[in-house]
Each structure stands twice: as C-alpha cells, then as structure tokens.
Structure 1
C-alpha cells in the first residue's frame, strides 16, 4: 500500500481500482523474470558493466542514499530485493521495474554529462514509478484489453488474476505511463532525492539538458516528455523540497549556495504540447 510523508512535496495522486485485478506479487515476479532476461542479454552481448567500474559504483552509492527514503512513499519497498546495474549502450534511458529492479544505460550519463544531483533525480524518478505501482495500473489495463472486458467482469467481484502470468501486452519494458504518472514520478523522485541530500534544483537542469541535447523521437524524450510545462511543475513545487535538502545537509535554508549547472547555454526546454487526457498512456 502506497503512503505519503507528512512533509515535503504535495502530489495529486490518482488511483484506480482497475489495478487490483493484477496482484502486486504477480507484477513483482514478472518484473524479476524480465529483469533477469535483460541482464542475461547484456551479459551475452558483453554490455553489462562490471561491478568494479567507477560508474557502477557511483550509481550504487547514490542508490544507497536514495533507498532509505522510499519506504516513506511505499512501505513495501523496504522488503524489495533492490538491484542497480549499468548497461553499456548509446541509448539515453533508465528504468526501475516493480520490486526495485533498476538499470541505467550509459548513454544517459555520457550524453548529458550528468552530475550526481542530476543522476539522483533520474534514479528518483524511475524508482517512483515502482513505488507508485504505475506498472501495475498499466498491466491491469493491458490485461483488460487482452482478455476482454466481459471476461474480466466475470472474475469474482472484479477480483484479481491470481497467479496467472500476465500477457505479452503487459511486458514491463513495453509499458507506457501517462503524463499524470510522469508528473507523479517527477515530484516524488525529487522529494526522495532531496531527503537523501541531493539538490532538487538539479531536476530543472536535468530536463533542460534533455531538451537541449536530445532530439524528438529519442527513447527518453518519447516516453519521458520534457518541456516547459514539465519544468514549470517542478519549479512550482521547489519550495516544498528545498527545506528537505537543507535539512539533509544540516544547513539553514538561507545558507544554501546558489545552484550552478555544469553545462553552459541551458535555456528553456522546447514548448510541450501536452496531452488532453493526462491519464492516457504516452505513445512513441
């Protein structure tokens, strides 16, 4: 069951009973299987980066600081068998499957020259998708489409699919989240990172970099739309998370130093047309 801390960011979270047709345990099990497949494919292609690589150590050290904060938003996260791996690829992307199975593609770090603060924002964002059970919601909707509404309605009391293996329509890495879910992940990820001692102002430069460096149609921009509207939401909630960062740094708010980006010529991101239906899954 997801929860929320008393302080920090305020998020308009919207849940649907539809997700209850797929038990969280089923989602976790499938995610673990798919994650192992991803790892084995990377091993076969010699693209799974060794554990002693500095970038792997960097990701896991950031993770060590982030993960204790996750239970504030979802107590189940304290029981997850977390994994964080780096895959060598030009792809600019990252993901965190249900159950805490996370991977970062090296292109994300290299192309955007990310600082630790910005990496923490990416990781916090992806972790938040898992905490908020967004994949469960999308998997349930995919199953309704796959099985047919009539079949689902015949399940006991609009109940769940038990131990049934969810179909190919709901593969973890193929799921697309909605703009509303992306906003939730942005804000909760920023909150988690701030509590862990990472500057939340890095969330702004992260998405400015996305807009400046990446092209429309790239994997990350197609499933994680950047734009002025997205940055505006982050900025609107900045005063809620800066005190968390100051507390983590054991520093009065007025003593926080000005934030400095490590990349020049960062301007407003491109105008983002947005979606009329904030609940509709984003499409590539």
Structure 2
C-alpha cells in the first residue's frame, strides 16, 4: 500500500492509520483457487453495521412503495435457492453458514441484484422476469453476489476510499471515537450501489459463484447462459452493475473454464 503523507495528517492519526491498515485473507481458496491478500483500513464489524443500517433503510423505502416481496411464490423460490447456496459457503469461510443471511425481492424493472456485507441480499423482479431466469441462472446470480460478501469486497473498497480521501467521521472511526459515522455509511452505500466493482472483484465473484452453485446442486454452466441473456438485453454490453468486467468473449471463456473445473462437484451434489 502506498504510504499516506504524514505532512497531511496529524502524527497521531497517521500512526493510527498505519496500525489500522492490515493485510488479511478473507477466504480460503476453494476448488477455483481464489487466493489474494487484501489491505483493509476498517473493521468488518464497522462495515457490516453500516450495511445493516443501509439495508433496513432500503427495505423501509421498498415497503412504502409497495415494492417489497409482492409475489409470494417468487420470494419462496429465491429464498429456497439462496438457502442451498449459503450452506457450501463453509468451503470458503467456516464462519459464513452462521451469518444472518437474508434475501428479499424488490419489484423493479432493473436488471439488478446485490449482496451487502454480512449477507443482506436483494434481487429485482426485472432480472428474473425480463431474462426468464431458470433456477440454475438465479443460483448463478446469487452465488456471484454472495461471493462478493464472502470476499468482503465492500470493506476492501471502503478501505481504498478511506486511503484516498479521509474525512473527519472516518478518522473518528479509526481512532475509536464513537460509532461508525454517517460518512462511512454513505461510502458503503456508494461502493455497493453506485460504483461498479473492479474487474478483479468481478472475476473473483464469478469463479467463486460457480463453485457455490455447483456445490449446491445447480448447474454451474448456467453462468454462461446468464451472461448471454444479459448481453442480449444490453445491446451486447453488460448492465452498469457489471460494466467493468472484461469483454463478453473473455468472460464467457473464463466462466466456461471454471464451470468445467467444478462440474465434478455439481455431479457429486446431484447424486
């Protein structure tokens, strides 16, 4: 990590940042072999707390708009799939199956889905209905999103934002002054909903997602058909939430390669 100039910060704060910045390995490699150390400047607990607050606000807003879990059959279908996906998360993180996982369905025409820190998820009806997703394809979507949470990509991105522009409330959080500030909550929301993930993060989520799907008994090859459907709805380009991913052809190749790698896991789960 590039050092932060101590001429720009009080010495005590600079020292605190140095201590707070740590290298972690959030997940085990799994069959797909995702292995990369991550630099973190904020605790998992702080990011999860901010995510939970943001999630509750979004649920409240959806309720006011009568856009939360309107179709019981769709909600039951999505929750059944997610329940199967969260069990094999232990392969990547032994603590993950005990997380307080939650998934809700938002009525919206957007092609969107996400999973916040700690396992708070949503999928939009536009994604399910416009693309006519199969159960295997929903598993591909949600496995990908779950992988982002397992890898703590939001925490990593918040840490990067803090390293490049530290505000008063964030500095207070680093120094242990009070609870997580509004600025941290806003940053969590921004990296989750507004800014596209990096190519590296998307690749990791793709590869881990196909393994989660396979271990849960869903065909990992559905990730490839899902991407074809995405491209067909976006004039050959991905929607904004996947816009930093490599080209369509490169992504197809990578997904196909890793889906083939985990096919024995899928076949074993189907027996």
TM-score class, shorter: 0.7 to 0.9
- Which among 85, 105, 113 is matched to residue 124 of structure 2? 105
The corresponding residue for 2:145 is 126
- Which among 196, 200, 219 is matched to residue 176 of structure 1? 196
The corresponding residue for 1:244 is 265
The corresponding residue for 1:266 is none
- Which among 30, 34, 37 is matched to residue 15 of structure 1? 37
Is the 1:125–1:186 contact (alpha carbons within 8 Å) kept by the matching residues of 2? yes
Is the 2:203–2:245 contact (alpha carbons within 8 Å) kept by the matching residues of 1? no
- Distance change in 2, residues 1:175/1:190 (3 Å): same
Alpha-carbon separation, structure 2, partners of 1:182 and 1:237: 14
- 1:122-201 to structure 2, matched below 5 A, reads 122-147=141-166, 160=174, 162=176, 163-165=179-181, 166=184, 168-171=186-189, 172-201=192-221
Aligned residue-pair number: 238
- Normalising by structure 1, what TM-score? 0.77
- 1:256-275 to structure 2, matched below 5 A, reads none
Question: Any idea what the Cα deviations from partners look like across 1:175-197, whole Å, max 9, x if unmatched?
Answer: 43210110000010100010000
The corresponding residue for 1:233 is 254
- Distance change in 2, residues 1:141/1:167 (3 Å): farther
The corresponding residue for 1:207 is 227
Task: Give the gaps of 5 or more residues in structure 2.
Answer: 1-24
Is the 1:82–1:100 contact (alpha carbons within 8 Å) kept by the matching residues of 2? yes
Greater share of residues in helix: 2
SS at match of 2:118: coil
Is the 1:200–1:238 contact (alpha carbons within 8 Å) kept by the matching residues of 2? yes
Deviates more, 1:210-219 or 1:239-248: 210-219
Task: Give the gaps of 5 or more residues in structure 1.
Answer: 251-284
SS at match of 1:139: helix
The corresponding residue for 1:2 is 26
Structure 1 runs (4+) deviating above 6 angstroms are none
- Normalising by structure 2, what TM-score? 0.80
SS at match of 1:190: helix
